[in-house]
Structure 1
Amino acid sequence: MTAPIDAAERNRLDVVIDDTLKDLCLAYDHVDTGSFLVTLEGEHKLRTMTWLVVQDHTLLVEAFFMRAPAENAAGTYGFLLGRNAKTYGVHFSIDRVGDIFLTGQVPLLAVTAEEIDRILGCVGSYADENFDPAIALGFASAIEREKAWRAKLAADAGSATKPG
């Protein structure tokens, strides 16, 4: 097994990641040496907060996807597990309470501007493409209640404007 990276290599990777995020014009916080919190914008999942953290042997990539499903957990997790067969660099995973993340490890030797761009592109795409179907599976009842509430508001507003 190889030794953990030294301070000089950690600093070099820090510069590579920082320069890449600037070149990509992404919003991010440089939290500490080798630790970045990147904001990826999307259409369906509006924001995907993504950690890039230089560890001893790999670059950790971790993005929050959604809270634990309120219903149909097996269907939601099964849907996302099926997506893992087609992902690059990151995969859907759950934590101890069932919240869903996109996670991955990139070998430090592979950390380049191109690879960071590719990995962040994958995180953004997977989060955005799968968000609506995952929410529909895991929160169907809440979505129906919201639709009914909005329809009632619209109907009430329509009847309030009609002359009596």
Structure 2
Amino acid sequence: MTGDGTDGGARLARADVVARLDAVIDRTLREAELVHEHPAPGRWVVELPGTHKLKTVCGLVVGEHALRVEAFVCRQPDENREQMWAHLLQRNARMYGVAWSIDRVGDVYLTGRLPHAAVTPEELDRVLGAVLSYADDSFNTLLEIGFGSSIRREWEWRVRRGESLRNLEAFAAFAQAGRADRPGDGGGDPPDGGG
């Protein structure tokens, strides 16, 4: 710390920014009736309820210059990685406020940054709506691309055992594609790996 108190002034200014943005975030989340946690100043965890992806958890972190938005969408794909990355990258140019990204292990996220001045209730609502829309609308397609063989194996296993297919109903056409012309055992993956 310098003798003129500059570092202390910077900390106070930062605390003021965090407090101001926390108030905006708190009001926005309460008015939208979203389940959320506020584990620390400048840190929020929000649950966005969906249809295909039942819940998308989105983190909001007030940084030095921007609000960071980060939502986990799905784990790294088991197969067809290049096809999934191409699918996501082709969509990035048309997206609002966030973009598809992956972490070091290949897990899929939606990430973005809003400058402090842009953090208003309306803009935060718009960005959270974009996160929900992109995660929810893309979820089944991402699972089909990255986990298609597993989905088909699970479907076939449940059919053979007479188990419920209720939580796989969204994948019925996908899981059964190409099965009608295959004889008898209903087992195995299609030669192309299910992609």
Under a length normalisation based on structure 2, what TM-score does the superposition of the two structures give? 0.76
**Matched residue, 1:106:** 114
1:34 and 2:46 correspond: no
Partner of 2:148: 140
Identity of aligned residues (%): 49
Name the larger-Rg structure: 2
Give the secondary structure class of the aligned counterpart of 1:45: coil
Alignment partner, residue 83 of structure 1: 91
Gaps of at least 5 residues in structure 1 are: 156-164
What CA distance in whole angstroms lies between the structure 2 residues aligned with 1:66 and 1:33?
Answer: 27
Q: Report 1 or 2 for greater relative contact order, CA contacts < 8 Å, sequence distance ≥ 6.
A: 1
> Once the two structures are superposed, what CA deviation does each residue of 1:82-119 show, in whole Å capped at 9, x if it has no partner?
11111100000001100010000000000000011000
CA distance in 2, matches of 1:97, 1:23: 36
Distance 2:120 2:66 in 1: 13
1:8 is aligned to 16
Amino acid in structure 2 at the alignment position of 1:77: W
Matched length: 153
Say whether residues 1:43 and 2:59 are aligned partners: no
How far did residue 31 of structure 1 move? 1.1
Question: Aligned-pair distance for 1:6?
Answer: 2.1
Verify: 1:69 aligned to 2:77, yes or no: yes
Give the letter for the 2:46 counterpart. V
Secondary structure class of the residue paired with 2:56:
strand
Q: Which moved more, 1:52-61 or 1:5-14?
A: 5-14
* Residue 94 (structure 1) aligned to one of 82, 94, 102: 102
The Cα RMSD (Å) is 1.4
Q: Match of 2:142, as an amino acid?
A: A
Q: Is 1:131 paired with 2:139?
A: yes
What displacement does 1:154 show?
1.9
Instruction: Give the Å deviation of 1:39.
Output: 0.3
What SS does the aligned partner of 2:29 have?
A: helix
Q: 2:160 aligns with which of 111, 136, 152?
A: 152
| Bigger proportion of residues as strand | 1
Three-state SS of the structure 2 residue aligned to 1:6 is helix
Residue equivalent to 1:17? 25
